[in-house]
Amino acid sequence: MQSPASAATPSFVHGASATPLLYRTVDGVLRNAVAENPDGLALVSAHQARRYTFSELDAAVEELARGLVAAGLAPGDRIGIWAPNCAEWLLTMFAAARTGLILVNINPAYRTSELEFALRLVGCRAVVFAREHHGGDYAAMLNELIPELATSSPGQLVAARFPELRLLVQIGGPPAAGCVSFEALIARGAGIDRAALAAIGAALDPDQPYNIQFTSGTTGMPKGATLTHFNIVNNGFFCGENMRFTRADRVCIPVPMYHCFGMVIGVLGAMSHAAASVFPAADFDPLAVLDTVARERCTALYGVPTMFIAELDHPRFHEFDLSSLRTGMMAGAPCPISVMQRVVTEMHMPDVTIGYGMTETSPVSFQSRDDDPIARRVGTVGRVHPHVQVKIVAGDGRTVPRGSPGELLTRGYSVMQGYWNEPERTREAIDAAGWMHSGDLAVIDAEGFGNIVGRVKDLIIRGGENIAPREIEEFLYRHPAVLDVAVVGVPDAKYGEVVCACIRLHSGAAVTEDEIREFCRGRIAHFKVPRYVRFVGSFPLTVTGKVQKYLIREQLRGELNLTEDQHA
């Protein structure tokens, strides 16, 4: 029970800090690290056996940036990156920043339907893509979407469906028809005057948009959260400050680069402190993480709780010396105290932190500190980040007292510019006073610690991946047998939540659960494919005809014998 004093205190917190915000571009982060630590280790891509010092990384970024200019890309153009974690991802990230391009992060799990939506929404001028990944033939998918590609000259694509798209750059292997290899793009830049590139850099401003990341809302298709250099440089920097990074740190990043966790908290958090970024594998592999941490003597490790669980439970866990670890961050889903205790003791991470945020806020708004008790680091999401404001409001918009639940709102340097080319959806998310509405239900206690207690809307969080039920519903409506569909999240021991599709069929139609799943495979990302499919005769409705998804979830828990304590 809260005391009368705490009840009178409004749920508003502000991260006052003596450390000033950085007014620096993403390219400025790299240049600053080069000046501070030129011969220090900047990047290890373990699965590619590639290593760069900061000076070497800077030279490689310069070469690629000149190639982008030679290919006709100009400041403000959007360049997509559709690949798993690799050195080319990071080179593209910084070369885009150096040339004033806007980097568009494309989930490697995206398939044709999602890729088409993303490219059309933001009007990509170029896309850098992996040849294939996890059985997904990216070149074949691009050819399916762009029939003109097969007969186009590299860099001179003219596609009816994608009028802005001109250049497709392939990472690895002989380039597909109409595409240029990553190495050939670099070679194109040999004739570009260095002064011309320097002039572009001199005109850049930290407040310019730099990055578009797709985020699943609770209704409709993904939105393109538009982030500035200033947004993400500072968020990465203060995440690193909270973990006390120095140039001596080596940060293991098994989380994806297409997400803020890998790109901002990971690479920018490390590089803003002249520390090294280490990629153990193209995507998450617990054995690769353990091996890389031990071989590279990593001092920090990131992951969602399911990743740490997979590492701890790996049969070869005890073969690896993890004593170099000190800190890191767990985010994306709640962490059980038993797991946190094992991370602290068995993985030698006494200073591990918990973070909370959303893509639209660059992403972190709350983070625990290394001196917080373990109970606080597990039972809460820590305290508000430096230079960030947060308040908790009731449905009528009034700020609630400390200890009372309400929607979490964030304001400050970290709030995105808006959703790309969607002013109405931006106005729905950011109010006239500049507050970003999270959609999360939260509580702030008397000491300023935050705790996420639910979601205002029905977002599904599967192993750290945000999934909009409406997006899957819209896709399933394409199936000729589907009359109506309601998608909900149900508890899962490994992922926290998984997707369940409840389907009403057209009269006389017949389809199996496996046929529904097969309809989805290869056309939507694998993590969106329903784990469970249930055929129903009707849905529980409100008096106004809205589907009551909370009742569906309750019914499914009983039917599937699932309980909340199955959350990982």
- The pLDDT score that the predictor gives to residue 4 is 43
What 345-351 contacts at long range (C-beta under 8 Å, 24+ apart), as own/partner pairs, is 346/312, 346/317, 346/322, 347/301, 347/308, 347/311, 347/312, 347/322, 348/322, 348/323, 348/324, 349/301, 349/325, 350/326, 351/243, 351/244, 351/326, 351/327
Domain 26-204 in the same topology as domain 12-21+217-275+284-455: yes
Tokens of 535: 């055929």
CA distance 376 to 565: 20
- The pLDDT score that the predictor gives to residue 240 is 98
Phi, psi torsion values for 169, nearest 5 degrees: -120, 120
Contact 268, 237 (CB under 8 A): yes
- Compute how many other C-beta atoms are within 10 angstroms of the C-beta atom of residue 346: 13
Q: pLDDT tens for residues 291-324?
A: 999 999 999 999 988 899 889 989 999 999 999 9
- The pLDDT score that the predictor gives to residue 546 is 62
Rg (CA), the chain: 23
- Compute how many other C-beta atoms are within 10 angstroms of the C-beta atom of residue 469: 24
pTM above 0.75, yes or no: yes
CA dihedral 195, 199, 200, 206 (to 10 degrees): 130
User: Of 321, 399, 408, which Cα lies nearest the Cα of 364?
Assistant: 408
Residue pointed to by tokens 């559709």: 82
Residues in the chain, pLDDT under 50: 1-7, 217-219, 543-544, 565-568
CA 492 vs. chain centroid, Å, equals 21
The domain 12-21+217-275+284-455 belongs to what CATH superfamily?
A: ANL, N-terminal domain (3.40.50.12780)
What 514-521 contacts at long range (C-beta under 8 Å, 24+ apart), as own/partner pairs, is 516/476, 516/479, 519/476, 519/479, 520/472, 520/475, 520/476
DSSP E strands: which ranges in 244-306? 250-252, 276-279, 300-303
CA distance 232 to 210: 9
- The pLDDT score that the predictor gives to residue 161 is 96
User: Of 505, 508, 295, which Cα lies nearest the Cα of 516?
Assistant: 505
CA distance 33 to 329: 22
Q: In the CATH hierarchy, which top-level class contains the domain 460-566?
A: alpha beta
**Where does 13-128 have alpha helices with state H?**
26-36, 54-70, 87-98, 112-122
CA distance 20 to 386: 9
CA distance 461 to 439: 13
User: Of 263, 275, 210, 266, which Cα lies nearest the Cα of 239?
Assistant: 266
Q: CA angle at residue 214 from 212 to 217, to 5 degrees? A: 135
Do you know the residue count of the chain? 568
Q: Three-class SS of residue 77?
A: coil
CA distance 388 to 366: 9
Residue 19: DSSP 8-state: S
- The pLDDT score that the predictor gives to residue 565 is 44
CA 391 vs. chain centroid, Å, equals 24
Span 26-204: which CATH code? 3.40.50.980
Instruction: For the chain, report the end-to-end CA distance as a whole number of angstroms.
Output: 28
CA distance 477 to 496: 26
- The pLDDT score that the predictor gives to residue 241 is 98
Phi, psi torsion values for 492, nearest 5 degrees: -145, 135
**Where does 86-228 have alpha helices with state H?**
87-98, 112-122, 138-145, 182-188, 194-202
Residue 350: DSSP 8-state: T
Beta bridge pairs of residue 460? 467
Beta bridge pairs of residue 80? 104, 127
Beta bridge pairs of residue 390? 13, 410
Every domain of the chain and the residues it spans: 12-21+217-275+284-455, 26-204, 460-566
Characterize 299-330 residue by residue with b for buried, 16 or more Cβ atoms within 10 angstroms of its Cβ, and e for exposed: bbbbbbbbbbbbbeebeebeebebebbbbbbb
